[in-house]
Chains A and B, each alone.
Chain A
Amino acid sequence: MADDKLKPEEILNVSYEPADRDWLTPTAVFRKGTYSYSAPLKHQKYLDLPNQREWNPADADWKLPENWKEIILEGMGRLLKRHRSFKLYLDICVRCGACADKCHYFLGSGDPKNMPVLRAELLRSVYRRYFTVAGKIFGRLAGARDLTEDVLKEWFYYFFQCSECRRCSIYCPYGIDTCEITMMARELLNLVGCNIQWVVEPASNCFRTGNHLGIPPHAFKQTFEFALDELKDLTGISIDAPINRKGAEILFVAPSADYFASPHWHTFLGYLMLFHEIGLDYTWSTYASEGGNFGLFHSSELAKRLNNKIYAEARRLGVKWILGGECGHMWRTIHQYMDTFNGPADFLEEPVSPITGTKFDNARSTKMVHITEFTADLIKHDKLKLDPARNDRWKVTFHDSCNPARAIGLFAEPRYILQNVCNHFFDMPENTIKEKTFCCGSGAGLGADENMEMRLRGGFPRAHAVKYVKEKHGVNMVSCLCAIDKASLPPLFEYWVPGVEVCGVHELVGNALVMKGETRTADLRGEPLAQAEEPTA
């Protein structure tokens, strides 16, 4: 960690009361720890992105094309014609300030340009200058400013300090969604080749290999073999995990971190155990080996290009419907974009649980079901034998990941599961969960290590709420439904609230699941099971 030197009290030496100055003057300073590296040339090339070059945000010269200004303004005009959200949200903000202290980056940094209203004004000021009468006539008096290279750099700095979590949007009286503004700003930055490594590289990997981590099919197969060996050791059961199997009923798609990173891995084991135990007729895919979609953090076009694989693979394998794993922005893409991008999925069937017969009516068009919807239904129908006492060493809270919360409204399903698989569950304070949940600070492609200071700042409100339940209830485990959370929360908590661990919901399901013919002495982390008595329920 580059900023081990910064102590929490130093980081928090911030004020929410900005000085009265003129924000129209661009101020971005590319200080180490607060920005992400630029996209590597190799991956720019692989995705055919514009203005391919090696460049560095900290350099004075960004090697922009000569007519960069025209490109941006022309692009802005095009986006205004294509997105009502963009046009409307640039027009109707009254600057009431309700959003100001809702952004986790503002709360962690005190930088006024991280107030959602001002973040949007960075773009709005240029919109006014070139697209509105008042801005053309009155200039700065009307809050309008010229598009200069410094303004562009400021955009890059601050629109890659927004994790598109949409928390501000729920407080806005008009629903102005900074995520939309940020998406448009990033679309514009892309036009002149300004994007970051942590977005472009996973997207490029995903385009080529089917997943963000760039795992080729044979390595994919290998990690499954490791997992199945591990499960054999843990449970004594030989589990099968079909890959690329034609004719399966269900295609299962999870974020690639689940089968490669930690603590995601334990969630992955949980899935495999669950599917084995209920005898699900399903398959994994190496081609569609990624549920997440870093294209979404780049442009709607790239999001669509990456998302295409899921339906294409479902069609090729001839499955009936698709089940999706624990991931945040993946579920924003699937719930709100996939059908529009690459539908209609008329070659699939309306999802029905083969175990309970429950029809997932809410997914009847997209034909993709969230795993917590699926598992909650199993538990409700008493199809799983669960021993929540096996999770007794954990006092659990649930971090609502931004996208499943504010895109889907997925609140009750995971909580129902958690309350059935563990005995000690405590929610964090009401204004930090559900629709008011705080981002981990690393969403929307901002999870790079070089950006650690901003991540720690942005994650502070979430960590603070965890600290609250830790002190009040002794919470030592935060469960969540997002691969980025699982990657970014452990270092965040290590910094702000040591002693709290992170897991997926299905890790706890896997622990509690009493399998037929099992011999279990350890949980999925290899720790001795809390107890090995007769299951209670």
Chain B
Amino acid sequence: MPIWYGWLNRSAEGAPKLELPPGEKECVESTQYMRTSHVDLLNNWKETVVRDGKRTYVSSTGKEYTMSLTNTCITQCHSNKAKFCDRCHDYMNVQPWCWDCHNFPKEAGK
């Protein structure tokens, strides 16, 4: 029975613990929004940058950010792909195709 599979692997105790960036307390939007909708946000960024050439994002709290996966998200905060992105994506069995195009900067990834 597949539903016992999780139990046997004793992994039901909780979701993966994400390693948060040291120092930074706040993401571009609320944690709750980022948890449910970061896909939409990044997709939105991509289309705004590529189609409209705009690079500035104004968050719901009025703060301004540069719309860039590599330069903003990764370089400034989430420098550890394995411990931030992958843990959760693996857990949910999703294979985002971000990295089909984007480079994960080597220095950030280490």
Instruction: Judge A-B direct contact (beta carbons within 8 Å).
Output: no
Residues of A participating in the B interface, judged by any CB pair closer than 8 Å: none
